[in-house]
Structure 1
Amino acid sequence: MNYGIIKKVLGSLLIVEAFLMIPSYLIALAEKGPDRIPFLLTIILTALIGWILTRAKSTHDSISPKEGLAIVAVGWVAASILGALPLYFSGSTATYVDAFFEIVSGFTTTGATIMTDIESLPKGILFWRSFTHWIGGMGILVFTLALLPALGIGGFQIFKAETLGPVAGKIAPRLKDTAKILYITYITITLAEVVLLVFGRMSIYEAFIHTFGTVGTGGFSSRSGSIGAFDSSYIHMVIAFFMVASGVNFSLYYSFFRGKPSEFIKDEEFKLYIGIIVVSTLAITVDLWFVSYHNILYSLRDSFFQVASIITTTGYGTANFDLWPSFSKGILLILMFVGASAGSTGGGMKVIRILVMFKLIKREVGKLYHPRAVMPVKINDKVMQNETIAKINSFLALYLLIFIFSTLLVSLEQVDLVTAGSAVAATLGNVGPGLEMVGPVMNYNFFSIPTKLWLSFLMLLGRLELFTIIALIAPKKWRIDV
């Protein structure tokens, strides 16, 4: 393990984080809030630690898979540890663990909160907690990719560990170009939503906060009532549209900008993703229409918004869906597991894995009738390798095992099983709100410190696709040196 390279890259990461705190500090300074000094001290401390780490000497100039995993996992934890300091020192949270939980929730784009009175928070803190969604949405480590050439380090192992979904691929031949393409797309979508929200008479400040939460699929809001606090169907639909857009594989946008819009139609994952949204929306709309709302348009509006919010793992709300009929809640609970597309900013299992799982089931049923037939699993007319299928099966099995174990663990808090299960599903899937005691109008503040730390660990696990963390903490007998 080349610890010198790990330290240098982590140092670059922390220096970038320090610079990214400056806008929040300037807002705190302009508002003369209690978060001014905490932000200033944290920026100085983070930059200093980063500078010290970048002075480390490395034995070679390449990053191995193990080093890539270490950089990704330790990088997220280090960014969260330091990023939580302004919340704690400004008095926004009662304990440091609460601040850590909140910022881990931000960087992992989960949106689970321990805050009870959002509107009372200093504006700098509100901006920072939402900005962490935007940073974490595409992976904070991508920010450092442009810095790696200056360090004399190649970075594809970091990108492979950081890439969301079962297949890590390059959009462009060089990793630096890939990072640029991703962020040009990311910033374009961000600015487009800000403009449309301001056009809907939302303030620029709140437009940025909710855009960060939408494009990063995080869900932190400046209002306790989330998006429901804005009595505007226009704002609801703009945010719903961008939530759906942010749950799409970003490589499809690259194809679109290169004059290949047909890639959307050809992509099987995209078609299934949109199909799930449409079917789920219609099913909940009918359920609400007959049972609760008795108004087809309101039913359609709220059901579409919540389906978009949950499947993209954003977690915004326009209604208290915990009061909806059991059928509707059941669909939303399933969507918490499904998640968004691979290569998007969303979390969850990812639609591509669900697609492969169904194709595997179809193949096994077919083999019962034709035992000797060769039936390869194809995605977009390309045969999937057995190694990739094995990884997907392992991921789904591990996801289920972690969910079951964690649900039992959280239930030791003497909460009902729905609360425990949905809290685990919402944190592991990076969704945010769950059901019952962690529902859309509730929060996670009542949990004990050990449970908050475990749920924070689940957020990191889910965000880093399970195996990035598991590979580092697994017993030595599980590791095979190549």
Structure 2
Amino acid sequence: MKLLAVQKVLGLLLVVFSATMLPPLAVSLLYRDGATLAFLWAFATILAVGLLSWAPVARHQRELRLRDGFLVVALFWTVLGLGGALPLVFSSDPSLSITDAVFESMSGLTTTGATVITGLDDLAPSILYYRQQLQWLGGMGIVVLAVAVLPMLGVGGMQLYRAEIPGPMKDAKLTPRITETAKALWYIYLGLTVACALGYRLAGMSAFDAVGHAFSTVAIGGFSTHDASMGYFSSAAIEAVAVVFMLFSGANFALHFLAWRRRSPLVYWHDEEFRFYLGLMTLSAALVTTALAVSETYLDWGESLSKGVFQTVSIGTTAGFTTANYYTWPPFPAILLLLLSFVGGCAASTGGGIKVIRLLLLIKQGIREVQRLIHPNAQIPVRMGNRSVTHRVVDAVWGFFSLYVASFVLMYLALTATGLDLMTAFSAVAACINNLGPGLADVGPHYQSLPDAAKWILCLAMLLGRLEIFTLLVLFAPSFWRN
């Protein structure tokens, strides 16, 4: 383990992250909202810690290995969650405890969208902007952004990229060089953000709200500048823009890259994961809409359709925006949506959950086992599109799924030990490990009332979900630390 190289990279990444305090600082100065000192102190603290970590090992030139990349990513996201809490700790409005500030910061950076803050409509604009920016940075991963910069500083990036990018097939690069890959991802990400902001603005949002909601929409985050979330605007046009960009952001960003390079939207339809993704969303929206209409939750089919489609896409992609209090709906549509969040977005998207491609591979593997019972001697491959999937990938998916379930059960039990009722505990862990945000029962509207112990457990759940289990749990394997 090259700990000095890890320390160097971590220090550099913290220096980069300190610069993200400057945009909300500028917003605070523009609106004169009284939060300027909070961002100044946060900037100075994070920059100082970064420089103090980097300076002693600045001349160290050893290259990172894959194991070092896992350690850097896990440490960085942990430290980032703590550092991102500083403006909220230093701010007097909202007045948050350290636990609540870390929870809010971790929720933003992991694009979970669970919040402990109420009264958003009256909050300082710079704090509102900062929450949205946290999600935007976390959406694609600030580590991927740094990968495009670090090679210029003499630090290799492929190890960080492989540890950071979600999904079971992360060795496939969009371009031959990792720096170009990171840049390509961010150009797509930035382009979607700009297009989404323009769409919101044209649909009737203010410029401030349009930018803020574009940040959290493309990041599949769910933070809003209003307590009522998207329901605040009561606009079919705004909801339509949100649905389109949530669907786009929940898709594989490699597909966006290929569609742009080939100038053909048929790239999406030729991808089996994307077709399954759209089919699952369509079926779920139909079931939710029908359930709302039959139960007479809303007065007519039109309202049931608009509420059902929006909540299905938002919860299904793990964005977490709401136009209705879905946690007060009848049990069937509410539970269906919560279970849908376990699937989440496609691989290499900004969505959470186990990812569509893993579910598809699990289904195909299950079908293959049934066929083997009928034809014991047959050689039946698992295929995605026109390619056979290797046993290593299938085994990795099963391993991921088992660890996901085990982690969920352990944290569910831990939450019940803090005194939460079964539904609140179940939905809180589901909403956090899937990076969804809004849950059911007591965590439907917010997480403010939870005990501190429960919030720290849920911070771990968010981190596990964001780093997709393996990246974090691999650090607990004794063999990881052996030379």
Q: Normalised by the shorter chain, which TM-score bucket?
A: over 0.9
Q: AA paired with 1:344?
A: S
Partner of residue 18, structure 1: 18
Partner of residue 204, structure 2: 201
Displacement after TM superposition at 1:481 (Å): 5.1
Partner of residue 68, structure 2: 67
Ranges in structure 1 where 5+ consecutive residues have no aligned partner = none
Displacement after TM superposition at 1:479 (Å): 4.0
Displacement after TM superposition at 1:263 (Å): 2.1
Partner of residue 120, structure 2: 118
Q: Does 1:299 align with 2:307?
A: no
Q: AA paired with 2:131?
A: R
Displacement after TM superposition at 1:336 (Å): 1.6
One of 122, 127, 130 as aligned partner of 2:129: 127
Once the two structures are superposed, residues 78-112 of structure 1 have per-residue CA deviations (whole angstroms, 9 ceiling, x without a partner) of 11211111111112243111100000000000000
Once the two structures are superposed, residues 124-149 of structure 1 have per-residue CA deviations (whole angstroms, 9 ceiling, x without a partner) of 11111111110000011012112222
CA contact (8 A) 1:93 1:99 kept: no
Counterpart Cα distance in 2 of 1:261 and 1:221: 31
Counterpart Cα distance in 1 of 2:174 and 2:40: 38
CA contact (8 A) 2:418 2:453 kept: no
One of 282, 289, 313 as aligned partner of 2:286: 282
CA contact (8 A) 2:138 2:219 kept: yes
Number of residue equivalences: 478
Q: Does 1:267 align with 2:268?
A: no
One of 356, 359, 371 as aligned partner of 1:354: 359
Q: AA paired with 1:9?
A: V
CA, structure 1 residues 331+172, in 2 after alignment: closer, same or farther (shift >3 Å)? same
Q: AA paired with 1:33?
A: D
Displacement after TM superposition at 1:287 (Å): 1.1
Displacement after TM superposition at 1:322 (Å): 1.3
Partner of residue 435, structure 1: 440
CA, structure 1 residues 64+58, in 2 after alignment: closer, same or farther (shift >3 Å)? farther
Q: AA paired with 1:397?
A: S
Partner of residue 107, structure 1: 109
Once the two structures are superposed, residues 319-368 of structure 1 have per-residue CA deviations (whole angstroms, 9 ceiling, x without a partner) of 01112222211210211211110000001000001000000110000011
Root-mean-square deviation (Å) = 1.4
Q: AA paired with 1:164?
A: P
Displacement after TM superposition at 1:413 (Å): 2.9
Q: AA paired with 1:72?
A: V
Counterpart Cα distance in 1 of 2:165 and 2:337: 26
- Percentage identity across paired residues of the two chains: 38
CA contact (8 A) 2:145 2:186 kept: no
Counterpart Cα distance in 1 of 2:18 and 2:475: 27
Partner of residue 27, structure 1: 27
Partner of residue 462, structure 1: 465
Q: Residues 52-91 of structure 1: matches in 2 within 5 Å?
A: 52-55=52-55, 56-57=57-58, 60-91=61-92
Q: Which moved more, 1:104-113 or 1:231-240?
A: 231-240
CA contact (8 A) 1:12 1:147 kept: no
Partner of residue 189, structure 2: 186
Displacement after TM superposition at 1:59 (Å): 5.2
Q: Residues 412-423 of structure 1: matches in 2 within 5 Å?
A: 412-423=417-428
Counterpart Cα distance in 2 of 1:293 and 1:21: 44
TM-score with structure 1 length normalisation? 0.97
Counterpart Cα distance in 2 of 1:12 and 1:181: 22
Q: AA paired with 1:65?
A: L
One of 311, 314, 324 as aligned partner of 1:319: 324
Once the two structures are superposed, residues 372-405 of structure 1 have per-residue CA deviations (whole angstroms, 9 ceiling, x without a partner) of 0001111122111111111110110111111111
Q: Residues 127-276 of structure 1: matches in 2 within 5 Å?
A: 127-168=129-170, 169-259=172-262, 260-276=264-280
Displacement after TM superposition at 1:150 (Å): 2.3
Counterpart Cα distance in 2 of 1:34 and 1:148: 35
Displacement after TM superposition at 1:316 (Å): 0.4
Q: Does 1:396 align with 2:401?
A: yes
Counterpart Cα distance in 2 of 1:136 and 1:449: 24
Q: AA paired with 1:31?
A: Y
Displacement after TM superposition at 1:33 (Å): 2.0
One of 371, 382, 392 as aligned partner of 1:366: 371
Once the two structures are superposed, residues 206-264 of structure 1 have per-residue CA deviations (whole angstroms, 9 ceiling, x without a partner) of 11111111000110111001100111111111111111110000000111111243221
